[in-house]
Amino acid sequence: MPEGIAINETKNDFPTNTGNGGNSRRESLLKQDLAAYMAKAAEMVKAPSESDAFALIRLDREMKYCQECKGLAACQLKGMQPVATASGGRIYLTYRPCKRARSANAERRMKAALKAARLPENLSDKTINGFEKTEGTEVARQAAIEIGQRILNGNLPLKGLMLMGPPGVGKSHLEVALARVALEAGCYTVFVSLPDLIDASRKWFATKTGLDPAEVVIAADVAILDDLGAESTKYEWVAERVFQVLDQRMRNRKLTFVTTNLTDPDEISSHYGGLMGRRIVSRLAELCRWITMTGPDWRLRQVM
Ligand SMILES: Nc1ncnc2c1ncn2[C@@H]1O[C@H](COP(=O)(O)OP(=O)(O)O)[C@@H](O)[C@H]1O
Ligand SMILES: [Mg+2]
């Protein structure tokens, strides 16, 4: 039996679940078709037995369901398509998910990955195409397009983006859009706002139950750290935690995206303070290409 595709190998006895009269149906089929199916079986194995011919009869009968496909919900084979495989001089039917089942599975996986990625609800449908060209954001838009294409081609860039700039210029929009591309490409992707991460870390420290939220971010193939600098640095451990996440991601060469309202290295450094501040800036420089976005706050369009 070849390895790989075999799922649910079936016995090759001809099915008798044809209701009343199953036996007579079996006999008439045998008369009509057996010779033809024996000939077909002989194309696959040297010395076919009736059992091999029955496998091919079953294959044709079940493939009819597929030819007249009424959708997955109504599928008698539950989305599994038969394939005839010759091995050790015998013909077996093996089953594998059909095209529709595969695409439904992919959709289900995508939904689960999307949920795990925790994209912010209000931005979760944002795309790069949906980002309008504006003065002050074009470099960022082009960089996002280029990185998005590389992610889709499986040619991950060495650096992510750190989008800097005032509120409402579209920093998170572009990075959520990139998170969606990464999810589509099958990358384990996590989006987290820094204030939320620090809050979750504080709670985790208190109980140490469940997953350490910082470790979840460290482990992701692609991480988006939104609003760096918006977290309170009242406690010393905050800067250490941010450093740890960035440092681990840098060491493991993991693609990292950042957004921040902070405008330059000095501001970032002094937000975290002292040596730790400078070490954070240095990690950000290795992890990301820095791009400043400018322009009016899009959120104000709705109220003005
Ligand atoms: N160039 C743009 N094209 C389309 N929508 C935009 C653009 N810039 C911002 N927006 C929209 O404005 C809102 C705020 O953008 P967001 O990315 O959250 O801003 P930031 O993260 O820079 O504060 C979002 O709904 C976003 O989709
Ligand atoms: Mg934002």
**pLDDT tens digits for range 35-82:** 899 999 999 999 999 999 999 999 999 999 999 999 999 999 999 999
Residues near ligand 1 with C-beta < 6 Å? 123, 126, 131-132, 134, 137, 167-173, 259, 298-299
In the predicted structure, residue 289 carries a pLDDT above the cut 50? yes
Ligand 1 atom closest to Cα of 163?
22
From CA 139, how far away is CA 292, in angstroms rounded?
9
From CA 259, how far away is CA 122, in angstroms rounded?
16
Instruction: Dump pLDDT digits (tens) for 245-279.
Output: 999 999 999 999 999 999 999 999 999 998 999 99
Helix (H, G, I), strand (E, B) or coil at 82: strand
DSSP character for 213? H
| Among protein residues, the one whose CA lies closest to atom 18 of ligand 1 | 172
Going by CATH, does the domain composed of 106-301 fall within 3.40.50.300?
yes
Instruction: Dump pLDDT digits (tens) for 143-166.
Output: 999 999 999 999 999 999 999 999
Q: How high is the pLDDT of residue 116?
A: 80
From CA 35, how far away is CA 116, in angstroms rounded?
55
Ligand that lies nearest to the alpha carbon of residue 173, given by its number in the listed order: 1
In the predicted structure, residue 6 carries a pLDDT above the cut 80? no
What spacing in Å lies between the alpha carbon of 171 and ligand 1's midpoint?
A: 7
H or E element at residue 92: strand 90-97
Domain spans in the chain, listed from the N-terminal domain onward: 6-97, 106-301
Q: Pick 19 or 154 by higher pLDDT.
A: 154
Buried b (16+ CB within 10 A) or exposed e, 118-143: bbbeebeebebeebeeeeebeebbeb
Ligand 1 atom closest to Cα of 167?
23
From CA 10, how far away is CA 58, in angstroms rounded?
10
Span 171-189, average pLDDT? 95
Going from the C-alpha of 205 to that of each of 200, 220, 286, the distances in angstroms are 9, 21, 29
Per cent of the chain over pLDDT 90 is: 73
Whether 159 contacts 288, CB under 8 Å? yes
**Tokens describing residue 259:** 């957004």
From CA 294, how far away is CA 169, in angstroms rounded?
6
Could you tell which of 125, 128, 173, 297 is best to mutate to test the pocket of ligand 1, judged by most ligand atoms within 8 Å of the CB? 173
Span 185-190, average pLDDT? 93
Instruction: Dump pLDDT digits (tens) for 192-240.
Output: 999 999 999 999 989 888 888 999 999 999 999 999 999 998 888 999 9
